[in-house]
Chain A
Amino acid sequence: MPTDARQPGLASLLEAALPKVVVAPSFAAMLVFIYGFILWTLYISMTKSTFLPTYDFVGLAQYIKLWRIERWWVACRNLLVYGGLFIFFCTVLGLMLAIFLDQKIRIEGALRTIYLYPLALSFVVTGTAWKWLLNPGLGIERLVREMGWSSFTFDWLVTSEMSIYCVVIAAVWQSTGFVMAMFLAGLRGIDDAIIKAAQVDGAGLTRIYWKIIIPSLRPVFFSAFIILTHIAIKSFDLVVVLTRGGPGYSSDLPATFMYAYAFTRGRLAMGAASAMMMFAMVMAIIVPYLYSELRRKRDA
Chain B
Amino acid sequence: MPDAIRRSRSETAGRILIYGTLVLFAVYFLVPLFVMVITSVKNMDEIRTGTLIALPQQPTLEPWLKAWGYATIGVTNEGIRGFFWNSIRMVIPAVLFSTLIGAVNGYVLSKWRFRGSDTFFAMLLLGCFIPFQVVLLPMARTLGFLGLSESIWGLVLVHTVYGLAFTTLFFRNYYVAVPSELVNAARIDGAGFFRIFWKIMLPVSTPIFMVTIIWQTTQIWNDFLFGVCFSTGETQPVTVALNNLVNTSSSVKEYNVDMAAAIIAALPTLFVYFVAGKYFVRGLTAGAVKG
Contact = CB atoms under 8 A, between A and B. Distances in A.
Asked whether the complex places CB atoms of A and B closer than 8 A, the reply is yes
A278 B139 CA distance: 17
A157 interface: no
B71 interface: no
B289 A185 contact: yes
Contacts of A142: 51-52
A100 B138 contact: no
A127 B277 CA distance: 23
A34 B127 contact: yes
Interface centre among A35, A114, A125, A281, by most chain B C-beta atoms within 10 angstroms, is: A125
Nearest to A289: B291
A40 B145 CA distance: 15
A133 B114 contact: no
Contact of B243 (A35, A240, A293): A240
B135 A111 contact: no
Contacts of B109: 23
B85 interface: no
A100 B22 contact: yes
Interface in B220-266: 221-225, 228-229, 239-240, 242-243, 246-247, 255, 258-259, 261-263, 265-266
Interface stretch (A24-32, A57-65, A81-89): A24-32
Interface in B17-74: 18-19, 21-22, 25-26, 28-33, 35-36, 39, 47-48, 51-53
Given A19-B108, A113-B277, A138-B48, A233 B131 contact: yes
B291 A223 contact: yes
Contacts of A281: 131
A116 B21 contact: no
A124 B228 CA distance: 12
A80 B136 CA distance: 24
A240 B222 CA distance: 14
Contact of B269 (A20, A41, A44, A120): A120
Contacts, number: 263
Interface stretch (B88-96, B118-126, B146-154, B204-212): B118-126
Contacts of A40: 137-138
B246 A128 contact: yes
A259 B224 CA distance: 12
Interface stretch (A67-75, A160-168, A176-184, A194-202): A176-184
Interface in A124-140: 124-133, 135, 138-140
Interface residues of A, number: 97
A103 B280 CA distance: 24
A115 B193 contact: no
Contact of A121 (B35, B39, B133, B270): B270
Contacts of A103: 15, 18
B222 A121 contact: yes
Interface string A70-110: 00000000000000000000000100110011010100000
B273 interface: yes
Contacts of A121: 222, 266, 269-270
Chain B interface residue bracket vs A = 35 or more
Interface centre among A29, A116, A138, A281, by most chain B C-beta atoms within 10 angstroms, is: A138
Provide the main secondary structure of the chain B interface: helix
A60 to B, nearest CB: 17
A282 B129 contact: yes
Given A33-B161, A173-B32, A237-B224, A122 B131 contact: no
Interface string A31-67: 0011111101100100000000100000000000000
A131 B263 CA distance: 14
Contacts of B277: 113, 116
B63 to A, nearest CB: 13
Interface of A: 15, 18-20, 22-23, 25-27, 29-30, 33-38, 40-41, 44, 53, 93, 96-97, 100-101, 103, 105, 111, 113-133, 135, 138-140, 142-143, 146, 173, 177-178, 181-182, 185, 220, 223, 226-227, 230, 233-234, 236-237, 240-241, 244, 254-255, 258-259, 262-263, 268, 271-272, 274-276, 278-279, 281-282, 286-287, 289-290, 293-294
Given A44-B138, A132-B39, 17 more contacts: A15-B193, A22-B193, A26-B168, A38-B130, A41-B134, A100-B22, A105-B19, A117-B273, A120-B280, A124-B224, A127-B243, A128-B258, A132-B36, A132-B255, A140-B52, A142-B52, A290-B126
Interface of B: 15, 18-19, 21-22, 25-26, 28-33, 35-36, 39, 47-48, 51-53, 101, 104-105, 108-109, 112, 114, 117, 120, 122-127, 129-139, 141, 161-162, 164-165, 168, 192-194, 218, 221-225, 228-229, 239-240, 242-243, 246-247, 255, 258-259, 261-263, 265-266, 269-270, 272-274, 277, 280-281, 284-285, 288-289, 291
